[in-house]
Amino acid sequence: MFSMNFRRVCGLALSIILAGSLAISCYDDSELRSSINDLKTQLSQLQTLVSSLQNDDAVTGVTPHADGSYTINFKKSGAITIHNGADGKPGNDGKDGSIVSVTKGEDTYTFTFSDGTTVILPRYSEIRVLTFEDADYKGAAETTNYWSNLIDDPEYGGPILYSADGCTWYDENNTFITSSILPQNYEAYTYGYSSGGIAISNYGNGMIAGADFMRQLEVVAMDVDGLTRKGAGCGGSDNFAVVFDAGVYNPATLAMKDGVARVFESVCVNNTCYTLNVLRNGNDYAAPMAENGFFKVIATGYVGNEAVGTAEYFLAKNISFTTEWSKWDLSRLGSVDKVVFSVAGSPEQYGDWGINTPAYFAIDDVAVRYYPD
């Protein structure tokens, strides 16, 4: 993960040393000695940087100083200060064998030396996960039941998702993800969760037949006989979220509240009871999915208002239905400041006004790559 003409540097150093040994005693070799010292400095600094690669280390930050030196912070090795020139002093004409520039890339740091040699080191990152579990909440507000306090009861028409004030949640000091549900305000033509959004839930149910909009927050939990409020999330956790795609009213969005673009690595997805029931059996508004039909969810990544990529996942295809939590890779979206979810189905699921199959699905364990620097 680094590039440098190491053989050329060593060869040049050897040539200079040999030339110096043949010089006559009266020759003023101060400039030559300075050049040799500068090369020794560069070789030493190159070794310092390359050693970090051998230790699978990564850079957590670089601080430049007024004297031209740099303090490089490594995750494993700690802080290392690299000085310019021999004994930290500039070489001839202000040039030396040391670092002259440091460039921070999306996932690397590039160190450039005065002769054009470059060393590229990995930039330290970590995966942070939005689990929707109360114990994992890191915000400054009430931490005991932050996520559970956002779960509505009843599932449809409750005081949280159909509030005159709307509902906004924020994964503070962790992934920085936020999402909002519009207020219920008929004069403004906004209808709470019925206008779309992402709602927190802990409702799971193994009984699929008969599920309708009154059970809109229930995730499929096939190992449960009836309704449960425990263990229906991904990996047996309690809480998760339910996405409802109502189209242009309020796009179901996971946004970075601080505006910083980051890579959404993955998210766990599953069907809801309501959607799965209609896919299998249909209802008064939607036909059952055809034998060669499909129902998929789509994630569109944005930077500002510009869509930069999409990823999709099939929750039903050819009469095969997802009935357990599955991991969906979102990393192909690249660094984005928000992800908007939508659903799509095969032709038999559509009517005059769009898709008639309930546009719900469940998400959990939203993983985001975070760079502390």
Q: pLDDT digits over 233-245, tens only?
A: 999 999 999 999 9
Q: How large is the average pLDDT for residues 146-162?
A: 97
- What pLDDT band is residue 264 in, cutting at 50, 70 and 90? very high
- What pLDDT band is residue 33 in, cutting at 50, 70 and 90? very low
Q: How large is the average pLDDT for residues 56-68?
A: 89
What pLDDT digit, counting tens, does each position of 66-109 carry? 887 889 999 998 998 887 644 444 444 444 447 788 999 989 99
Percentage of the chain with pLDDT > 70? 83
pLDDT at 285 over 80: yes
Residue 99 structure tokens = 């670092």
DSSP state of 233: S
Highest mean pLDDT among 76-85, 116-125, 323-332: 323-332
pLDDT at 22 over 60: no
- Range with the lowest mean pLDDT among 3-17, 187-201, 326-340? 3-17
Residue 323 structure tokens = 């009935």
Tell me what pLDDT residue 15 has.
37
- What pLDDT band is residue 44 in, cutting at 50, 70 and 90? low
pLDDT at 198 over 70: yes
Measured distance between the N- and C-terminal CA atoms of the chain, rounded to whole angstroms? 20
Q: How large is the average pLDDT for residues 296-325?
A: 97
| Helix H or strand E encompassing 355 | strand 354-355
pLDDT at 37 over 60: no
Tell me what pLDDT residue 49 has.
78
**The tokens 């540097």 sit on which residue?**
9
* CA angle (178, 183, 188) in 5-degree steps: 130
Q: How large is the average pLDDT for residues 176-196?
A: 96
Percentage of the chain with pLDDT > 90? 69
Tell me what pLDDT residue 142 has.
60
Tell me what pLDDT residue 8 has.
39
pLDDT at 16 over 70: no
pLDDT at 278 over 50: yes
Tell me what pLDDT residue 54 has.
73
Residues 6+ away with beta carbon under 8 Å from 30: none
Let me know if domain 127-370 sits in CATH 2.60.120.1350.
yes
| Helix H or strand E encompassing 197 | strand 197-201
- What pLDDT band is residue 43 in, cutting at 50, 70 and 90? low
Q: For residue 101, give the nearest of 90, 112, 117, 115 by alpha carbon.
A: 112
Q: How large is the average pLDDT for residues 261-274?
A: 98
- The domain segmentation of the chain, as residue ranges, is 6-123, 127-370
pLDDT at 332 over 60: yes
CA distance 297 to 277: 17
Amino acid letter for position 327: K
- What pLDDT band is residue 144 in, cutting at 50, 70 and 90? confident
Residues 6+ away with beta carbon under 8 Å from 98: 38, 41, 42, 45, 68, 82, 83, 84, 85, 113, 114
Residue 124 structure tokens = 């330290």
Tell me what pLDDT residue 26 has.
46
- Range with the lowest mean pLDDT among 6-15, 41-50, 197-206? 6-15
